[in-house]
């Protein structure tokens, strides 16, 4: 009875306030969810999960000793709708985009021979003050989507950001980015991750400074930790393709 009453209200709401694709800005058609089919089809996918020596992994292996694997779902295109989409999930409250892209990415990683042994998803943490300001951590929402597709658990508490840092986008130089996040993370519950293959998750991979600092914090407490990295987007110029 309740559903019969709510269905007309939902229809009216859809007509007055149609869901909009965050990439192209067009109204979603019936059956489309979060991102329209055309923009899903045109998405600049990296296919990094199909090869062990992909550019993201090659770059991060110079910074993270014994990194198991790394991948990104799509290329971060400046001045494009896909950049606007990433900006919306990060700053605009669009947690649904992070979850949807995480699910999409997880379906690729689940079938990849390089990520099929991951045991736990660990998001790059936000400082508590930034989390309160933003209302959520976008990396946790990406993890939720990945977990749904990959069938592996998330751990949102093991890794902590112990000091507030400036937004990395304010630092163009790779050394400045590294100094900004150096020592900013601590693994506070080592036993939760001991003996597990950790998939470290973030939104955008640029120079790799943030995930490198996270990996260093994990390895300080767990020197033998197996670490892989997954990010939704990668800035192409920094991977030297």
- Whether residues 100 and 154 share a domain: the answer is yes
Nearest to 231 by CA among 214, 198, 213, 208: 208
CA dihedral 238, 59, 111, 89 (to 10 degrees): -40
Q: What is the pLDDT of residue 37?
A: 95
Phi, psi (5° rounding) for residue 229? -130, 135
- Whether residues 178 and 198 share a domain: the answer is yes
108-150, pLDDT tens digit by residue?
999 999 998 999 999 999 998 888 888 999 999 999 999 999 9
- Whether residues 37 and 89 share a domain: the answer is no
Count of domains observed in the chain = 2
Neighbouring residues of 93: CB distance < 8 A, sequence distance ≥ 6: 135, 136
- Whether residues 133 and 29 share a domain: the answer is no
CATH of the domain at 181: 3.40.50
Which two structure tokens, joined as six digits, stand for 163? 């000091």
Q: What is the pLDDT of residue 240?
A: 55
- Whether residues 94 and 16 share a domain: the answer is no
Helices 138-150 and 81-91: crossing angle in degrees, nearest 10, is 100
- Whether residues 36 and 65 share a domain: the answer is no
- Whether residues 217 and 136 share a domain: the answer is yes
pTM for the complete prediction? Answer: 0.87
- Whether residues 148 and 105 share a domain: the answer is yes
- Whether residues 183 and 193 share a domain: the answer is yes
Q: Which residue has the tokens 């991979």?
A: 205
183-229, pLDDT tens digit by residue?
889 999 899 999 999 999 999 999 999 999 999 999 999 999 999 99
- Whether residues 32 and 149 share a domain: the answer is no
Sort residue 31 into left (φ over 0), alpha (ψ -120 to 50) or beta. left
- Whether residues 105 and 165 share a domain: the answer is yes
Range of the domain at 20: 1-42
- Whether residues 141 and 207 share a domain: the answer is yes
């Amino acid at each position: 009875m309740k559903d019969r009453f709510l269905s007309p209200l939902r229809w009216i709401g859809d007509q007055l306030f149609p869901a909009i694709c965050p990439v192209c800005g067009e109204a979603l058609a019936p059956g489309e969810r979060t991102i329209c089919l055309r923009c899903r089809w045109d998405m600049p996918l990296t296919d990094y999960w199909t090869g062990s020596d992909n550019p993201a992994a090659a770059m991060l292996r110079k910074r993270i000793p014994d990194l198991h694997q790394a991948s990104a779902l799509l290329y971060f295109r400046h001045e494009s709708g896909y950049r606007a989409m990433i900006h919306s999930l990060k700053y605009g409250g669009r947690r649904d985009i992070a979850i949807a892209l995480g699910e999409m990415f997880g379906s690729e990683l689940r079938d990849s021979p390089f990520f099929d042994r991951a045991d736990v998803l660990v998001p790059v943490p936000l400082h508590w003050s930034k989390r309160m300001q933003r209302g959520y951590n976008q990396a946790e929402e990406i993890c939720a989507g990945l977990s749904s597709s990959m069938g592996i658990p998330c751990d949102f508490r093991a890794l902590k950001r112990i000091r507030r840092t400036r937004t990395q986008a304010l630092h163009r130089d790779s050394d400045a980015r590294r100094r900004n996040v150096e020592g900013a993370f601590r693994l506070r519950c080592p036993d939760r991750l001991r003996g597990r293959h950790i998939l470290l998750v973030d939104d955008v991979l640029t120079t790799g400074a943030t995930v490198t600092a996270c990996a260093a914090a994990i390895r300080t407490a767990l020197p033998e930790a197996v670490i892989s990295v997954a990010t939704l987007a990668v800035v192409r110029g920094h991977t030297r393709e």
